[in-house]
């Protein structure tokens, strides 16, 4: 098939995935969660949140225009839930919004949201590959690998659309309410799409091998935890001597195994570090676990290699899935 033909088929498969999501109510469910978060952001209000760091300055300055050495004597306030909760600002409006964005991007969407999305999208491919519905599609001239790839692109595009709504909506709501327009927050969209695609590739392999939604749900969640554990373990080996100097050094074998597992598997932990760097690498707050912070601070983190190896893993798994589908009898 030529490229226009491939793009034509992929376009229809993407369209079908969105229709499938609409019919399965996944579309509306995810949109509702995004809407809730947007409403939460609309409920934020900041009083007296003037910036303590004038443009071009590194130092913080208090209300008296003198360098700030201790806590802010006259902190502003942030209200949440349309005034239901009132909190003192730890610095100024900008830092407070950055903290909110970090919590939304790293933990709400990057971790909890990722697990929820993996569950909600796990049924798409098994339903598509079920013999009763796939037999006629597989008797069409489109190669099997293209049907599988098109459907995967559809699922990733669907998740991408939901991320655009979530991040675009929360960014806009926070901007309107606080006047802080941090464009770095929108980098979460491509980063999380990449992360979802790498973990979802395992779900694709399970779908092709088992055609079972249950296997895909539990398999992909378990896989995410294994990858996170491996990622955390690898960084912990490097960071523990700094956290606790009395800790016994790890054996060469353990270190080699952690290295192999780390470079082979996708890296959900690194995704958090990347998101944190993209959002507010110079912020006065920490939303990352100490192991990750130290690992990064010691200059061990290699973002490009980390992303490339995760992507390579996804490509290999998709190739394996396509090969398996090609030799499956329907």
Binding site for other proteins (CB under 8 A): 5, 8-9, 12, 15-16, 19-20, 22-24, 130, 132-133, 135-143, 147, 327, 329-330
Per DSSP, the residues of 78-100 read EEETTTTEEEE-SS-HHHHHHHH
State the nearest-atom distance from the C-beta of 133 to other proteins, in Å: 4
Contact 98, 283 (CB under 8 A): yes
Instruction: Using the minimum distance from each CB to other proteins, give the nearer residue, 304 or 327.
Output: 327
State the nearest-atom distance from the C-beta of 326 to other proteins, in Å: 10
Angle among Cα 313, 314, 318 to the nearest 5 degrees reads: 120
The Cα–Cα gap between 319 and 298 comes to 36
State the nearest-atom distance from the C-beta of 33 to other proteins, in Å: 21
State the nearest-atom distance from the C-beta of 27 to other proteins, in Å: 11
State the nearest-atom distance from the C-beta of 129 to other proteins, in Å: 12
Instruction: Using the minimum distance from each CB to other proteins, give the nearer residue, 22 or 88.
Output: 22
Tokens of 150: 């098109």
Instruction: Using the minimum distance from each CB to other proteins, give the nearer residue, 7 or 88.
Output: 7
* Residue 45 per-residue DSSP state: E
Instruction: Using the minimum distance from each CB to other proteins, give the nearer residue, 63 or 131.
Output: 131
Query: In terms of residues, how long is the chain?
Result: 330
Instruction: Using the minimum distance from each CB to other proteins, give the nearer residue, 17 or 306.
Output: 17
| Closest-CA residue to 283 (of 97, 69, 65, 75) | 97
The Cα–Cα gap between 112 and 155 comes to 18
């Amino acid at each position: 098939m030529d490229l226009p033909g491939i793009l034509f088929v992929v376009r229809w498969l993407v369209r079908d995935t969105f229709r499938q999501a609409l019919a399965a109510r996944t579309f509306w469910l995810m949109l509702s969660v995004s809407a809730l978060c947007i409403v939460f952001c609309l409920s934020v209000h900041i009083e007296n949140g003037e910036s303590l760091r004038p443009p071009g300055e590194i130092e913080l300055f208090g209300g008296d225009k003198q360098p700030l050495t201790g806590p802010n004597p006259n902190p502003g306030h942030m209200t949440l839930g349309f005034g239901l909760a009132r909190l003192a600002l730890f610095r100024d409006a900008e830092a407070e919004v950055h903290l909110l964005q970090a919590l939304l991007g790293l933990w709400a969407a990057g971790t909890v949201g990722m697990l929820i999305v993996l569950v909600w999208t796990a049924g798409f491919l098994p339903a598509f590959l079920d013999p009763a519905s796939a037999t006629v599609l597989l008797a069409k001239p489109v190669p099997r690998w293209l049907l599988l790839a098109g459907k995967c692109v559809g699922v990733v595009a669907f998740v991408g659309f939901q991320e655009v709504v979530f991040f675009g909506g929360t960014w806009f709501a926070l901007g309107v309410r606080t006047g802080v327009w941090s464009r770095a927050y929108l980098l979460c969209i491509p980063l999380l799409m990449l992360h979802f695609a790498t973990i979802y590739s395992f779900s694709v392999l399970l779908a092709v091998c088992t055609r079972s939604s249950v296997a895909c749900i539990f398999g992909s969640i378990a896989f995410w935890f294994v990858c996170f554990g491996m990622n955390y373990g690898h960084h912990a080996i490097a960071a523990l001597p700094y956290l606790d100097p009395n800790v016994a050094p790890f054996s060469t074998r353990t270190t080699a195994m952690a290295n192999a597992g780390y470079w082979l598997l996708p890296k959900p932990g690194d995704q958090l570090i990347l998101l944190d760097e993209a959002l507010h690498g110079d912020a006065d707050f920490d939303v990352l676990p100490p192991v990750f912070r130290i690992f990064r601070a010691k200059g061990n983190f290699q973002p490009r290699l980390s992303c490339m190896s995760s992507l390579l893993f996804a490509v290999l798994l998709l190739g394996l899935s396509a090969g398996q589908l090609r030799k499956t009898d329907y």
